[in-house]
Structure 1
Amino acid sequence: MSFIQIKNVVKKYSNQISVDHLNLSVQQGEIFGLLGPNGAGKSTTIKMLSGLLKMDGGEMIVDGLSVAKDTLEVKRLIGLVPQELAIFESLSARENVTFFARLYGLRGALLQNRVKEALEFVGLSDRASDKPSAFSGGMKRRLNIACAIMHHPKLIIMDEPTVGIDPQSRNHILESVKTLNRMGSTIIYTSHYMEEVSAISTRVGIMDHGHLIACGTQEELRSKVAQDNKIILQVANLTDDAVKELREHPRIKQVNAQEQALELLVGSSQAYLQDILFILSKHNVKIQSLAQVEPDLEALFLSLTGRTLRD
């Protein structure tokens, strides 16, 4: 039996469906990456799985326990790193971790050892007596992680843990995720940064508009677009008319246009490259560089939804 089972889960806000009959399973020991743009339903799914939000339908099981019926027992199994920082600015780093450790019932020498261990793990031992109000964004994110792991949870859920931080802190967090997994925790990691999920995940689920639209290993997902090719162009003087004509081309599957860049997904790059160049030339678009690359998870998402993860 899977460590996590999500069966036909539904969540509605007023008349809006945020999660629509979601079915998903996660095996023990996995790093499961949950991808999707903002508004896809990732955070809502995480809140329901953590027992913070009630489902409107369906069932969630964690380690054989029902999230709806055995809520407290499930919460004891989980370390949650929320998207919004859950730390107290007026307490020191040590006091923050101690507060959350006490909520999980840790006391005495065990509590002190776990607090020290958690701060060492996230690289904040030398700032243990300082308040987060003096921390950088990356340090606050790392403290957020320390508060979630000091009780050695079987399941760690990280919801967009690298939002708004510097590259060094991002790399530190990604390495921490892999270390926590090697130490025995199953991890669910949500993001709309494809490169992060690609770097750490054993399996990936892609959500859009409350649905799970693809799930599998990275190799399995890439195979879904194995016959496609992605063309990346750096351009100048890109016009709406040029983009419109590219999108109307019967053999160009997707067009992602930015101010000075184009990403095209085509069935055969060689067969349609001449058409692409002709259209751009006709609209006086200057091509500064052109590259053909094998499709990645971003290309799969574009193929399935017609938009990129950051849209």
Structure 2
Amino acid sequence: MAISRPTVAQLRAFLALAEHLHFGDAAAALRMSQPALSGAVSALEENLETRLVERTTRKVLLTPAGEHVARRAEVVLAELDRLVDEVKAVRGPLVGPLRVGVIPTVAPYLLPIVLPRLAKEHPDLELSVHEDQTEHLVAELLAGRLDVVLLALPLLAAGVTEIVLYEEDFVLVAPAGSELGDDGIEREALHDMDVLLLNKGHCLRDQALDVCRDVGARTAAATYATSLATLVQLVSGGLGVTLVPETALPVETRRAPNLGLHRFAPPAPFRRIGLGFRSTCPRVDEFEALAESVRMAVAESGVAPGIRPARP
């Protein structure tokens, strides 16, 4: 008599539900429909001939059996992902599928520089890109739904190994006519300005806040934005100033009139950009090759003067 075995799809659906305890949130995390996720969980219960979840009108609870299955499913799926990674590592660097996560303050400025080079150097690479904020990307990485993430360092996330790519200075973007003088302004110039920030969740917001705290500058409490493009437009409209990383300047300042760009005197505030991947992943050589391709693409693009190799 044949024994029904759980499928990988069923285990992934149930593990997402166990993590979120909400069908809608779990379905969104897996980028599938809620009915499809519910059907997968129900099929898993039928295969195992036991109830795994208690469904109420407001939330989902795991049964004792469900808690046990969730723990075992996490181990099984982690081993399966490791098997796939090991096969990819043996096959060769940057061949086949690679799922990359990128933060919004890097993706629109770096990807147009990097992607053509990757396509030329690694024609067998099947790249998929997911843009999101740092917290969500790291969660997706650790869950095995992304292979590598491109974002600001340090992450300080357990189980994630980092590869530094480059550093880039922040530039003060102010309305045209601001009496700030030429390049080489001191950080203390921010003290009497309203600094506009991105919404919570963006790592660039935290970095800008750190700079402001260092000099006692104030931030515009009532004005936030979800993108650098909006921030620069707000500055163009005279609502304050903002800090923009070098890679974003050519794109964003081209879209907005009436701006003044002011670079800081050394040591200028900066951010460090790098790759992160699961420390247990055997594809280290592959990610090192990816890192080198990114570094070379940035170096050859001439995109901005304030970009340099990372300092030791």
TM-score, normalised via structure 1 length = 0.27
TM-score, normalised via structure 2 length = 0.27
Structure richer in strand, relative to its length: 1
Structure richer in helix, relative to its length: 2
